[in-house]
Amino acid sequence: MLYFVRVINQQLSTVIRAIPRLLCCCLFSLPLTAQKKNEAYQLHIRRANSPVKIDGVIDEAAWQAADTATNFYMILPMDTSYAQVRTDVRMTYDAQNLYLLVENYNKLPGPYMVESLRRDFSFLKNDNFLLFMDPFDDQTNGFSFGANAAGAQWDGLMYEGGKVDLSWDNKWTSVVKNYPDKWVFEAAIPFKSIRYKKGINTWGINFGRNDLKTTEKSSWAPVPRQFPSASLAYTGVLVWDVPPPDPGPNVSIIPYLLGGINKNYETGTKSDFRRNAGVDAKVAVTSSLNLDLTVNPDFSQVDVDKQVTNLDRFELFYPEKRQFFIENGDQFTNFGYSTIRPFFSRRIGLGVPIRFGARLSGKLNRNWRLGLMNMQTAKDEELGLPAQNFTVAALQRRVFARSNIGFLFINKESLNYDPDKVTDKPVYSRYNRNLGLEYNLASANNFWTGKAILLKSASPGKSGHDWAQAANLNYTSRSWNINWQHEYVGRNYNAEVGYVPRQGYIKLAPQITRLFFPSTGVILSHGPQVTSTTFFNEDMRRTDNETMLSYAFVFRKRNTLTAYASNTYIRLLAPFDPTNTGKDSLATGSQHNWNTVGLDYVSKPQSLFTYSLSGRYGGYYADGKRLTLGSELGYRFQPYVSIALSSSYNDIRLPQPWGHTAFWLVGPRLDVTMTNTLFFTGFMQYNEQLKNMNLNTRFQWRYRPASDLFIVYTDNYLPEPFYVKNRALVVKLVYWLNL
């Protein structure tokens, strides 16, 4: 298998040379106008002729008069027939709310399968129903709402035509009621909680259902199996009897009060008592454009980051979880690629408090989106960090079928700061600016997607080689997935408010996947994938390459098995400690080459006990050896208790001075969902590489929609000897008030 990897690596050059011709052919064959694939699937919605009570009981006259969307289509296991499980959907509205009623019928006996009552559940691990809503009918942006069979809510912002950001949280109500032959989901979504264009009477809409007992995924408007059911390219049409009502003045005030105490045992300082207050505000400038304001925000209730073992030469990425930066954040944070992000909101307020901020974001009309944000942070006298102001401006224009062109400007300014006068503290730049242009390609049928970006930075003392350019083109059919990506980042390109862990390189990364679909048997699909990622310096001298051949099996019960083999070559550009423990470093310019084999398995989601296992073994730097084992174990006492344990083990054997190095990373987690408004989470992480043990517990009571009481307790320990490093307790009360 390793021999085959090396052969593939040699042959990829032929493929690379053919890619530019393929790019040109594809771009010039794209449709210039949007044609909706599922326009024939229409659900007519009329104003309710009676009050609607959200109780899961279908006894209102409004529901008897509403049209029904039924006869769902199967997406998985096969997308060539109607769904086996029956789902009926009805919608109506009044002056304040959009109402949804769903009857999810059973086909097989037995209990429903859910993780817990926790909000924003995992789609694949729950019997659930989801609504995908495109209120601008642009097939790109929208909202998603839903619930699992136990009543846990799901809500998120949709972006890039089929992705859902579940960090978004808003005010709406729902109930799930179970019957012998079905479970009923009923919801009221306030018009004030969503954004939509005033005056239009058609929205893109689709409904998705996941039924784990039959392992069937289905949708009302048919979606090809290679795409997610959330794909907005395949929505049907929600036809209003009259345009949706004007939500009227829409202002929400969200104040918080906080009290807490923290103690640092390492420094031996006295306990620090926290008393804090702040406020957020949401103002609907129009029905589709929103102004968000924040004064003295606090994010102590946000989930802690899940730690990973760091054996990488470059900075790791941790996603943004703070609510203020989420809504319409895709315009800012999704500009670029995963390792070329000119804007990364976690750079704002890093180690210092945010004093205030404002963001104007949303749709100007069907074709234009706007995003403006300004944030102000405090200064830190002890570190010498000046007060800083962050300004981000984004403008996006829809073109062709579902594509768009985007513009981004970022300015980070240190206020009242002269770096020439700094002597005994770290020196910070006076300013850093980035200017970017991006083209996002999405064909009408979603088979062709891609992106091209051009970025330019400006910083004091940095000029020349201060730009970045990248592009990719992806083709996805039922049987093939072919992707080409290249990147260039200049050695002086500087994105201080972004995530660009590596500079001064050129990257080529082709990928090809082929899938086969047996008509019978336990295997749903299987096929090989070949990837090759090569880095060059700016003089086109190769510095890195990883070529991988993998073969994946997806079973009809949705368990998966993947085997792979890879070849890795690295020429170090800087000294590097291969254990990241500070023992010693390999020299700049030293060359390393090794082979690796690995196996990953994920169990079927229907079981109460679920697990995933992974293992890899092969060479490592300096002719060493590395064994990595990982697991994710979970058991649920549905729907109230979920227990999970994640672990990874690394065993590294190198010549002296490193010798034998081994370390564990273990993270047990307990989720208790007493009701769908009362939650407790306990999460512990033992990181042998960092010599730290962290405990985080959070109690949350949603005493009314979008209003919460949080009690958060954290502890950090030195594991050997067992010693408390620091601990903190925070109580926070949040209230959502609509004016």
Rounded-to-integer distance, Cα 146 and Cα 132, Å: 9
Rounded-to-integer distance, Cα 16 and Cα 155, Å: 41
Predicted confidence (pLDDT) per residue in 184-213, tens digit: 999 999 998 898 888 889 999 999 999 999
Query: For 42-240, CATH number?
Result: 2.60.40.1190
Predicted confidence (pLDDT) per residue in 624-633, tens digit: 999 999 999 9
pLDDT of residue 395: 96
Question: Does pLDDT of 475 surpass 50?
Answer: yes
Predicted confidence (pLDDT) per residue in 503-523, tens digit: 999 999 999 999 999 988 999
In the structure encoding, which two tokens stand for residue 632, read together?
């994710």
SS3 per-residue string spanning 446-509: CCEEEEEEEEEEEECCECCCCEEEEEEEEEECCCEEEEEEEEEECCCCCCCCCECCCCCEEEEC
Percent of the chain with pLDDT strictly greater than 90: 71
Q: Where are the domains of the chain?
A: 42-240
Q: Check: CB of residue 549 under 8 Å from CB of residue 564.
A: yes
Predicted confidence (pLDDT) per residue in 49-97, tens digit: 999 999 999 999 999 999 999 999 999 998 989 999 999 999 999 999 9
Instruction: Give me the phi and psi of 412, to 5 degrees please.
Output: -110, 120
Query: Does the reported pTM lie above 0.75?
Result: yes
Question: Does pLDDT of 676 surpass 80?
Answer: yes
pLDDT of residue 14: 39
Q: By C-alpha distance, which of 468, 146, 513 is closest to 339?
A: 468
Predicted confidence band of residue 18 (pLDDT cuts 50, 70, 90): very low
Which residue pairs, CB below 8 angstroms and at least 24 apart, start in 646-653? 646/306, 648/308, 648/309, 650/309, 650/311, 650/626, 651/626, 651/627, 652/578, 652/579, 652/620, 652/624, 652/625, 652/626, 653/620, 653/624, 653/625, 653/626
CA dihedral 712, 638, 78, 39 (to 10 degrees): -60
Q: Check: CB of residue 638 under 8 Å from CB of residue 608.
A: yes
Predicted confidence (pLDDT) per residue in 280-327, tens digit: 999 988 888 889 999 999 988 888 888 888 899 998 888 888 888 877
Question: Does pLDDT of 22 surpass 70?
Answer: no
- State the DSSP string of 606-663: TSSEEEEEEEEEEEEGGGEEEEEEEEEEEEEETTTEEEEEEEEEEEEE-STTT-EEEE
Mean of pLDDT values over 22-28: 40
Question: Does pLDDT of 459 surpass 70?
Answer: yes
Rounded-to-integer distance, Cα 157 and Cα 480, Å: 29
pLDDT of residue 1: 37
Predicted confidence (pLDDT) per residue in 690-700, tens digit: 888 999 999 99
Those residues whose C-beta lies under 8 Å from the C-beta of residue 81, and which sit 6 or more positions away, are 73, 74
pLDDT of residue 23: 39
Rounded-to-integer distance, Cα 438 and Cα 468, Å: 12
Mean of pLDDT values over 160-175: 89
Predicted confidence (pLDDT) per residue in 539-595, tens digit: 999 999 999 999 999 999 999 999 999 999 999 999 999 999 888 999 999 999 999
pLDDT of residue 136: 85
pLDDT of residue 35: 56
Predicted confidence (pLDDT) per residue in 415-447, tens digit: 988 887 777 777 888 999 999 999 999 998 999
Rounded-to-integer distance, Cα 98 and Cα 193, Å: 10
Mean of pLDDT values over 527-536: 98
Those residues whose C-beta lies under 8 Å from the C-beta of residue 498, and which sit 6 or more positions away, are 336, 341, 342, 343, 344, 347, 410, 434
Using alpha carbons, list the distances in angstroms from residue 101 to 58, 82, 427.
8, 21, 59
Question: Does pLDDT of 490 surpass 90?
Answer: yes
User: What mean pLDDT value characterizes the chain?
Assistant: 90
Predicted confidence (pLDDT) per residue in 99-146, tens digit: 999 999 999 998 899 988 988 888 888 999 999 999 988 888 899 999
Question: Does pLDDT of 469 surpass 80?
Answer: yes
Question: Does pLDDT of 237 surpass 70?
Answer: yes
Q: By C-alpha distance, which of 257, 218, 243, 227 is closest to 77?
A: 218
Predicted confidence band of residue 26 (pLDDT cuts 50, 70, 90): very low
In the structure encoding, which two tokens stand for residue 593, read together?
């080459």
Q: Check: CB of residue 236 under 8 Å from CB of residue 41.
A: yes
pLDDT of residue 24: 42
Rounded-to-integer distance, Cα 316 and Cα 304, Å: 15
Instruction: Give me the phi and psi of 63, to 5 degrees please.
Output: -75, -30
CA dihedral 710, 715, 716, 722 (to 10 degrees): -160
Predicted confidence (pLDDT) per residue in 607-617, tens digit: 999 999 999 99
